[in-house]
Chains A and B, each alone.
Chain A
Amino acid sequence: MAMMAPFLKYGMFGDETSLVLAFLIGIGFGFFLERAGFGSARKLVSQFYLNDLAVFKVMFTAIVTAMLGVTYLGWIGWLDLSLVYLVPTYLLPQVVGGLILGVGFVVGGYCPGTSVAATATGRVDGLVYVLGIFAGMLAFAELYPLLKGFYLSGAGVAMTIPGTFGLPYGVVVFAVVLMAVGGFYGAGLLEKKFAAPGE
């Protein structure tokens, strides 16, 4: 089959249309976030008290679904995976940033996407969290001259797991699927063990 996707990169439409698509894709994103119950901080943080592992389940099901999709569409020669944008790898700032973000997640109860979903469904704590994100972003930008050295430390090229470790793409995909299935089974066991009283 002839290579034709990503559509935008193959010139099937322009940047203006891609903004309309952004809005439509966002609607789907927000819909499923809210459906999963992620407009609620209490539901989200239950992940970290082990009585409801929906965050893990939803996230890994989504990762596996999209991963299998791009892998399959790549294999049949329909999607050029090399044209899909990869965030460049700066391992050290990403590791430290991940830690700080994880703390912010459990302290405030949301992440950026879910705080928007929470605000949209009337959660005042979601709205205040959004204000906190704006304040933090402004602070980061103002402190950037001090943080620049660390921000730019590390490699700075997009590295995939198969590329870095010299493994065939399909093998890594298969390993992620196995890991997810094992994780889903383990999540069920943990939920039974840590069930919130009265549930």
Chain B
Amino acid sequence: MNPYLAGIGLGLVLLAAFVLVGRGLGASGAFNSVIVWAVNAVAPEHAKHNEFMAGYLGDGSSSPLKSWLLFEVIGVFAGAMFSGLLAGRAKVMTEKGSRVSVRARLAMAFGGGVLMAFGAALARGCTSGQALTGGALLNLGSWAFMMMVFAGAYAVAYFVRWQWR
């Protein structure tokens, strides 16, 4: 799809979220809810005594899985799958350069995910919750965050290009 058309579509979805529920889109918070739920299921005492996780657990009256962002992210999965199947783009594969081993590419993907999670947790949001949502609301921290995302990515792009050759 033309990027400007896709952008308008995405913008209208974001606008619908603002109008309907008074909040924007997000993604990283949903991952947090799942982790907190899992830790709480395995080691409830440990979760309760960790200040960060306790914030997600609240008074314990409601499961951390009953989270707006988690329901939204499950929707993202369904919507993307629908679009991918419709366009014939859905297939099991690893995206990488032809001279790169699958193992090396997957190691990079895992490491990137770890860094991403750390950055998103520190910044209180990711590309969706901060850059997109906060950007549209002219949130100062979101704009500063967005500039730094591009700065960080451009700064190291040269050193990880080998994955795509």
Contacts and interface: CB of A to CB of B under 8 A. Distances in A.
Interface of A: 5-9, 18-37, 39-42, 45, 47-49, 54, 57-67, 69-70, 73, 79, 81, 83-91, 93-126, 128-142, 144-145, 147-148, 150-151, 158-164, 169, 172-173, 176, 184
B77 to A, nearest CB: 5
Nearest to A63: B135
Contact of B11 (A64, A94, A122, A128): A64
Interface centre among A67, A101, A103, A129, by most B CB within 10 Å? A101
Interface of B: 1, 3-4, 6-25, 27-28, 30-32, 34-36, 39, 50-53, 66, 68-69, 71-85, 87, 89-96, 102, 105-106, 108-157, 160-161, 163-164
A145 B53 CA distance: 11
Nearest to A10: B22
A8 B135 contact: no
Of the listed residues A112, A142, A176, the one surrounded by the most CB atoms of chain B closer than 10 A to its CB is A112
The residue in B92, B129, B141, B146 that gathers the most chain A C-beta atoms within 10 A of its C-beta is B141
Contacts of A105: 112, 116, 127, 149, 152-153
B149 A125 contact: no
A125 B53 CA distance: 28
Given A66-B132, A106-B156, A110-B116, 8 more contacts: A19-B71, A39-B89, A86-B137, A107-B160, A125-B105, A132-B116, A148-B51, A169-B138
Given A85-B23, A115-B113, A125 B152 contact: no
Contact of B113 (A86, A132, A164): A132
B87 to A, nearest CB: 8
Contact of B16 (A28, A106, A107, A111): A28
A70 B160 CA distance: 39
B74 A23 contact: yes
Given A6-B19, A107-B156, A132-B112, A26 B72 contact: yes
A125 B144 contact: no
Contacts of B108: 107-109
A36 B3 contact: yes
21 contacts: A5-B20, A19-B66, A30-B83, A31-B9, A32-B79, A34-B79, A34-B83, A67-B135, A69-B11, A84-B24, A94-B130, A99-B119, A107-B108, A112-B116, A120-B81, A120-B84, A122-B90, A124-B93, A132-B111, A136-B114, A136-B118
Given A21-B20, A113-B127, A141-B50, A160 B13 contact: no
